[in-house]
Structure 1
Amino acid sequence: MKLASLKQGGRDGTLIVVSRDLTRAVRASDIATTLQAALENWDDTAPRLNALSEVLNAEGDWPQHFNAGEKPFDLDIAALAAPLPRAYEFVDGSAYLPHVERVRRARNAEVPASFYVDPLMYQATSAGFLGPHDPVLVTSEDYGIDLEAEVLVITDDVPMAVTPEQAASHIQLIGLLNDVSLRNLIPNELAKGFGFVQSKPRSALSPVFVTPDELGAAWLDSKVHLPLLSHINGVWFGAPEAGNDMQFSFAELVAHVAKTRPLGAGTIVGSGTIANQDTSLGASCLAEKRTLEVLDGGKPTTPFLKFGDCVRIEMLDRDGASIFGAIEQCVTQYNPAK
C-alpha cells in the first residue's frame, strides 16, 4: 500500500491511503489520524490500512462501510505534506562507499578500514520535513547548496540490540529523500569533531511512502534494486542503481543504530547519497560530480545550486511508473524577518 499526508490537521498532517497509480486517495481517519499514530500501533492499523488500499485500487463502486463513508478524491501531489511531517528520530547513513572513496581520494586521504565493516551514520534533524513540492529556503548561495538523492526506510518500534535479521522485520515503509546539504559550511563543522548542525537544514520527503511488498522483486535483501533518477533544471543528472554498491543493507543500518538503544516507531533511516562504481550512471549530489571533476581535471567546474534552480528526484518501476511520486523543489532565498 501507499500512504501520504495532507497539509491539514495540525503539524503531523492527515493520513491518507493513495492509489497505486498515484491519482486517487482516501482519508484514513477512522483507522489513524496521522501516519505517526498508525506506526505506533502498526500490528493493528496495517491490516486495516491495507484493506482500505485494496478497495481503493479495485474497480467498481466504493463500499459505504469503508472509512465512515469517506469517498476517494483526486490526488494533488503538490498539496501534500511530507508523509511524516516530523519524526521522533532521523538517522542518516553513508552506505555507498564509492562516494566516500572518491571524496577521500580527491583530497589524498585513505578510507579507514573500519568504514567497510562499520556503517558511517549521523543523527539528523527530524523536527520538521519539507513537503515534496516545498521550496528549499536558504539565506545565502555562498553556503554551497546541494541536493542529495537518497532512499529511506521507516521502522515500527525496534528493540535494542536487534540483529540485522531481526531488524529486517521492523522495516515497514520505504520512501525517498532529498537530504539538502550546505557544502561550504560542512568543513568547519566537521573540523570541530562533533558533527553536523548548521550545514544540514531540513530535508524533503517523497510524496508517498510504500510498504515493501509494493516494490515486488525490487525489494531484496533489505535493499531497493532500482535506479534513482535526478534532474536539475529539467536536465538529467543521474540514475545510479540503488541496489548496487550499497555496502550495508537497510537491515544492517537499522541494527547499527539500535545497538545501544531501542528505536521508536516512525524512526527514519537514510541510505546516504546513492553512488555507483559505474560513473556513467551519473550522480545523486553535486559534491559527487564535482569530486569526479577534481579527479579528472584537477578542479571542479560544476557550480552548486543557485536561487531559482529546481531539482526533481524520482524512482520508477520496471514498467516506467512512478512509485513514490516525485520530489520537485526549487531553491529560494530566505529573508529573515527584521
Structure 2
Amino acid sequence: MKLASLQQSRDGKLIVVSRDLKWAVSAQNIAPTMQYALDHWTDVEPILNDLYHALNRKVLENRFIFQPTHCASPLPRAFQWADGSAYVNHVELVRKARGAEMPKSFWQDPLIYQGMSDKFLNPTQPIEVEDLNWGVDFEAEIAVITDDVPMATSVKNAEKHIKLLMLVNDVSLRNLIPTELAKGFGFFQSKPSSAFSPVAVTPDELGESWKENKINNRLYVHLNQQLFGNPNAGVDMTFNFAQLIHHAAKSRQLTAGTIIGSGTVSNVDRLSGSCCIAEKRMLEIIEQGEPQTPFMQYGDSVKIEMFDADKHSIFGAIEQAVIPFIKH
C-alpha cells in the first residue's frame, strides 16, 4: 500500500496512491490524516488496503491524477523524529572530516539523535538558508514509521512495529556541527527541517527487496542533475531498522507516528558514490589532501529517489533547491 498527505492544514490530508504513482484517491472517510491512520492502524489498515487495491484496478470514479508537488511529507509533523547512523562506514568518514576519532563501541551500539519534528519540509520545497558559510549539505536516507512501540521491545518484536517506509533528505549545516557538538549537548541549529519522499509505503510493497529489516535497493542521488551516488541501502548497514527501534525504545515507549531514520546511506565500495557531500569531501581529503567538492550554493538542487526491479519509482522523488532565506 502507498500513502501520501496533500498540503492541507498542519497535518495534511491523507490520500491513497496507486502502485505506479499515477493516480490517487482521498481517504478522508477512513482516516483524515496520516497520524490518525497510525493511531488507529489495526482498524483502518485493512480498509485502506482495500481502497488501494481498488485504485490499482482503476475501478474508482473519484480517483484523480497524483501530483507530488501537491504533497506534504507523509507526516507533515511528527511526535518524534529520531535519526540513527546505521551505516557506520559513513560515521567514521565524517568524524574524520572534523578531526574526531570514532570509538570502537560505535560498531556495537547505534547512534541516534532526536531531530526537529514539529514541521518537515514538503518533498519539493526549497531549502531556505540564511548564510552559505554554514555549509549546506544533503543526506539521503531511508526511514520507517512505527505504531506504538512498548518500552524495552526486543529486536524480534521491533520489526512488527514497522508500518511504513519512506526516503529522507536530512539537511545538515556542516560548518555549524563541530562547535555545536563540542558543547556536549548534541545537534540543534546544525540540523534544520528535513524533507521526506512524497509517498510512504508498507513493507510488503517492497517485495523481495525487503529482507532482514533492510531495503536491498540502490538509492539514487543527483546533485544539479548529475549522478552523485547510488549505493545499495541493504549493503554495509551495520544496524537494521529492528535494531534501531529496539535501541530507541530502550528506556521509553515510542508513540505511533514515530519516525526512525537510517542515517546517510553509505557503501564501503567507493564506486557507488556518496549520499552526502561531507562524505565525498572526506574521501577527497584522503585521496588528494584537500576537499574539492563545495557544499551546496544558492540555486543548487538535489534529487533523491529509489526504483524497483522494473525501474519504477517506489516513493516518488525528493527534489529540493537551496535558496536564500529572506527575513520578513
- Summarize deviations over 1:102-125 as a string: whole Å, max 9, x none: 234456654212111100110111
Alignment partner of 1:176 is 2:175: no
Q: CA RMSD in A?
A: 1.0
- Give the structure 2 partner of residue 262 of structure 1: 253
Q: C-alpha displacement at 1:298, in angstroms?
A: 1.1
1:2 matched to 2:5? The reply is no
Distance in 1 separating the partners of 2:99 and 2:3: 45
CA distance in 2, matches of 1:4, 1:246: 27
SS in 2 for 1:5: strand
Comparing 99-108 and 275-284, the one that deviates more: 99-108
Q: Mind listing any 5+ residue stretches in structure 2 that lack a counterpart?
A: none
The residue identity in structure 1 corresponding to 2:40 is: N
Matches of residues 26-175 of structure 1 in structure 2 within 5 Å? 26-59=25-58, 61-62=59-60, 71-106=62-97, 109-175=100-166
Which residue matches 2:276?
Answer: 285
1:299 corresponds to which residue? 290
> Deviations for 1:289-326, whole angstroms, at most 9, x for unmatched residues?
00000111111010000011011000001110000000
Gap regions ≥5 residues in structure 1: 63-69
Q: Write out per-residue CA displacement over residues 212-240 of structure 1, whole angstroms, 9 at most, x where no aligned residue.
A: 00000101111010000000110000000
SS in 2 for 1:129: coil
Residue 15 (str. 1) matches residue 6 (str. 2):
no
CA distance in structure 1 between the aligned counterparts of 2:81 and 2:97, rounded to whole angstroms: 29
Task: Give the TM-score of the pair, scaled to structure 1.
Answer: 0.95
2:98/2:178 contact within 8 Å kept: no
User: What is aligned with 1:328?
Assistant: 319
CA distance in 2, matches of 1:145, 1:222: 31
Confirm or deny that 1:210 pairs with 2:201. Answer: yes
Alpha-carbon contact 1:24-1:74 (below 8 Å) kept: yes
CA contact (8 A) 1:31 1:48 kept: yes
Counterparts of 2:92 and 2:173, CA distance in 1: 20
CA distance in 2, matches of 1:109, 1:183: 14
For 1:275 and 1:3, locate their aligned partners in 2 and report how far apart those are by CA, in whole Å.
Answer: 27
Match of 1:315 in 2: 306
Paired residue total: 328
Pairing partner for 2:223 from 232, 236, 239: 232
Please give the alpha-carbon distance, in whole angstroms, between the structure 1 residues aligned to 2:194 and 2:107: 27
Report Cα offsets for 1:123-181 as digits up to 9, x if no partner.
Answer: 11100111111110111111100000000000000000000110000000000000000
- Rounded Cα–Cα distance in structure 2 between residues aligned with 1:235 and 1:107: 27
Q: Secondary structure at the match of 1:169?
A: helix
TM-score, normalization by structure 2: 0.98
Q: Counterpart of 1:261 in structure 2: which amino acid? A: R
Q: 1 CA distance for matches of 2:191 and 2:96?
A: 23
| Corresponding residue for residue 233 of structure 2 | 242
**SS of the residue 1:100 aligns to:** helix
Q: Secondary structure at the match of 1:17?
A: strand
Paired amino acid for 2:105: S
* In structure 2, C-alpha distance between the alignment counterparts of 1:201 and 1:102, rounded to whole Å: 22
Mapped to 2, the partners of 1:186 and 1:105 lie a distance apart of 13
Give the Cα separation in 1 of the matches to 2:100 and 2:3. Answer: 43
Moved more, 103-112 or 293-302: 103-112
Task: Look up the SS of the partner of 1:260 in the other structure.
Answer: coil
Paired with 1:187 and 1:108, the residues of 2 have a C-alpha distance of 9
Query: Aligned partners of 1:32, 1:93: CA distance in 2, in Å?
Result: 29
Measured in 2, the distance between the counterparts of 1:170 and 1:319 equals 28
Q: Is the 8 A contact 2:197 2:315 kept in 1?
A: yes
Paired residues of 1:106 and 1:295 also in contact (CA < 8 A): no
